[in-house]
Amino acid sequence: MTRIALIAHDEEKPEIIDLVYEYQEMLSTIDLVGTGTTGKRITEETGLEVERKKSGPLGGDLMIGAEIAENSLDGVVFLRDPLTAQPHEPDISALLRICDVHDTPLATTRSSAEFLLDGLARQFD
Ligand SMILES: O=C(CO)COP(=O)(O)O
């Protein structure tokens, strides 16, 4: 089963909800995991089931990183806020790094997330 992570910083949460609505049909056929607040918001607003890790600042990014290290994830959509300093910046860097280490597809903006999800959808055709 295809499994992807959905994560967004607070300023980007409206954007990830909008993205999930856009790809709702496709996303309803795969396993979704997310950091705590992002996962909660997605489920509340779209009804999609999201396995929730801890909130990002409390270790959620690292928990998703651990799944990547175990090759459990096929992709990561991580809509970062590039204009606000985050208290857990080291955790964010660790997640980005482990995606690179395992060549796990990673999108950090809306347009690159659309490329990633379009690419995944093509695998189902
Ligand atoms: O901080 C985050 C990613 O670094 C996101 O965490 P939340 O989804 O819990 O807001």
Q: How crowded is the C-beta side of 50, counted as CA atoms within 13 Å?
A: 28
First-last CA distance in the chain: 15
Q: What is the pLDDT of residue 123?
A: 84
Taking the domains of the chain in order of start, what are their residue ranges?
3-124
Q: What is the pLDDT of residue 42?
A: 98
34 carries a ligand binding annotation: no
Has this prediction a pTM greater than 0.80? yes
ipTM over 0.90: yes
Q: How far apart are CA 81 and CA 62, in angstroms?
A: 18
Q: What is the pLDDT of residue 7?
A: 98
Q: How crowded is the C-beta side of 40, counted as CA atoms within 13 Å?
A: 8
Contact residues for 93 (Cβ-Cβ < 8 A; gap 6+): none
pLDDT averaged over 10-residue windows placed end to end, the chain, 125 residues: 97 98 97 98 98 98 98 98 96 98 98 97 81
Is 61 assigned a catalytic role?
yes
3-124 has which fold? Rossmann fold (3.40.50)
The DSSP annotation for 10-36 comes to GGGHHHHHHHHHHTHHHHTTSEEEE-H
Q: What is the pLDDT of residue 106?
A: 98
Ligand 1, residues at Cβ distance < 6 Å: 7, 9, 35-38, 55-57, 60-61, 92
Determine how many CB atoms are found less than 10 A away from the CB of residue 12: 21
Determine how many CB atoms are found less than 10 A away from the CB of residue 116: 18
Question: Three-state DSSP class for 3?
Answer: strand
Which residue, by CA, sits nearest to atom 9 of ligand 1? 55
- Nearest residue to 80 via CA among 20, 6, 23: 6
